[in-house]
């Protein structure tokens, strides 16, 4: 663990921990809505934002936030219409996003493949102090919004019509979710990369819900798993020299497998303990 004497490693660790905590806090609402893949789609759109930033010599993070937020709001408006063509509209938007991004990055001065890979799969150890400030501020904002509005967001994601009849500002809450998703995608771009962002939002939630009974406990456990996977991901990747983003995701998937197996085992043992084995009576008359 002497790796953490370097400043860049500490920055990498802090950035990863912030995202490990914030991504599942948002992801749980996406999973509840059965929109688990939406983060992936917004990640595709964010790449266009990165391309715009590189082309205009601005910070790619800021332009990615703006473009992906616009994309997320667009997706939300399509979803509100609730038409079947929405599925196709999403596909067009996603592929437009990634193709646009690749073309724009290619047109920019810094058009190396390494640069593109850095955004697609993350590049944690190049996190600058300024990046870390942006990641921390936005991450904490996402975390606060997702926990402070939990009852209202739960109500909207659980039963949108009921929430409307309750007089909740459903449209505003949905737009808040859309913008927060875009922000989370963009700050996680540094850690796990745009192609693996969605995994950090969804996998910890999937792992937690194997053993939890309620929404609040699922959210808490998912955040713990996200935090653990992100921290361990940075440490392990530094030791064995692998990509931190992919390592984090593999660790989160490992947690999912372990928790599923463990949960299944506990349930089976409990069932065995509670139910005495019943011996069926024979179908024939036994003669002595």
Partner 1 sequence: MQLMSVVDVRRLAVGYDGREILHDVSMSVRGGEVVAILGANGSGKSTLIRTILGLVPTTRGEIDLFGTPQRKFRDWARVGYVPQRLGAGSGVPATVGEVVASGRLARRGIFRPSGSADKKAVREALTAVGLLDRIGDPVATLSGGQQQRTLIARALAGHPDLLVLDEPTAGVDAASQEAFAAALGKFAAGGGTILLVAHELGPLRPLIERAIVVHEGHIAHEGVPPEPAGHHADPGHDHLHPHAAPEKDKICVAPTDRITAV
Q: Which of 48, 27, 28 is nearest to 39 (CA)?
A: 27
Of the ranges 104-112, 117-125, 129-137, 159-167, which one interacts with partner 1 (CB under 8 A)?
Answer: 159-167
- Residue 272's alpha-carbon distances to 52, 213, 263, in angstroms, are 60, 21, 14
How far is 152 from 58, CA to CA, in rounded Å? 37
| Shorter beta-carbon distance to partner 1: residue 166 or 242 | 166
> Does residue 175 interact with partner 1 by CB under 8 A?
no
- Tell me the closest approach of the beta carbon of residue 207 to partner 1, in angstroms: 12
- Contact flag: residue 160 with partner 1 (CB under 8 A): yes
Q: Identify residues 15-74 at the interface with partner 1 (CB under 8 A).
A: 28, 31-34, 36
Residue from the set 167, 276, 281, 282 that interacts with partner 1 by CB under 8 A: 167
125 versus 152: smaller Cβ distance to partner 1: 152
The Cα 280–Cα 287 span in angstroms is 18
- Kindly state whether residue 87 participates in binding partner 1, applying the rule CB under 8 A: no
Nearer to partner 1, 33 or 86 (CB): 33
Q: CA nearest 17: which of 181, 179, 187?
A: 187
Q: How far apart are the first and last CA of the chain?
A: 75
Q: 30 and 181 in contact (C-beta within 8 Å)?
A: yes
Query: If DSSP codes are grouped into helix, strand and coil, which group holds residue 262?
Result: helix
Q: Which stretch binds partner 1 (CB under 8 A): 1-9, 15-23, 45-53, 157-165?
A: 157-165
In whole angstroms, give the CA distance from residue 147 to residue 134: 20
Give least dist CB 184 to partner 1, A: 17
> Which positions from 187 through 206 interact with partner 1, judged by CB under 8 A?
205
**Integer Cα distance of 62 and 218 in angstroms:** 32
> Residue numbers of the site for partner 1 (CB under 8 A)?
28, 31-34, 36, 149, 151-152, 154-155, 157-169, 173, 205, 209, 212-216, 218
């Amino acid at each position: 663990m002497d790796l953490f004497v370097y400043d860049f490693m500490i920055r990498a660790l802090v950035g990863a921990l912030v995202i490990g905590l914030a991504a599942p806090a948002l992801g749980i609402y996406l999973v509840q809505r059965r929109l688990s893949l939406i983060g992936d789609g917004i990640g595709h759109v964010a790449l266009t934002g990165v391309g715009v930033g590189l082309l205009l010599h601005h910070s790619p993070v800021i332009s990615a936030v703006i473009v992906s937020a616009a994309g997320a709001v667009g997706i939300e408006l399509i979803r509100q219409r609730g038409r079947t063509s929405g599925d196709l509209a999403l596909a067009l938007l996603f592929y437009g996003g990634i193709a646009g991004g690749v073309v724009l990055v290619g047109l920019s001065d810094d058009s190396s493949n390494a640069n593109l890979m850095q955004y697609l799969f993350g590049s944690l150890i190049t996190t600058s102090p300024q990046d870390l400030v942006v990641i921390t501020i936005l991450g904490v904002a996402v975390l606060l919004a997702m926990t402070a509005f939990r009852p209202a967001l739960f109500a909207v994601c659980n039963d949108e019509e009921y929430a409307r009849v309750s007089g909740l500002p459903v449209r505003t809450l949905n737009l808040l979710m859309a913008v927060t998703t875009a922000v989370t995608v963009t700050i996680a771009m540094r850690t796990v990369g745009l192609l693996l962002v969605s995994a950090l939002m969804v996998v910890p939630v999937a792992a937690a819900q194997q053993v939890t009974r309620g929404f609040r406990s699922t959210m808490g456990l998912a955040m713990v798993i996200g935090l653990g996977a992100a921290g361990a991901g940075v440490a392990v990747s530094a030791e064995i020299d692998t990509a931190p983003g992919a390592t984090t995701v593999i660790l989160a998937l490992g947690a999912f497998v372990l928790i599923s197996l463990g949960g299944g085992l506990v349930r089976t043992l409990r069932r065995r303990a509670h139910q005495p084995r019943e011996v069926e009576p024979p179908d024939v008359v036994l003669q002595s």
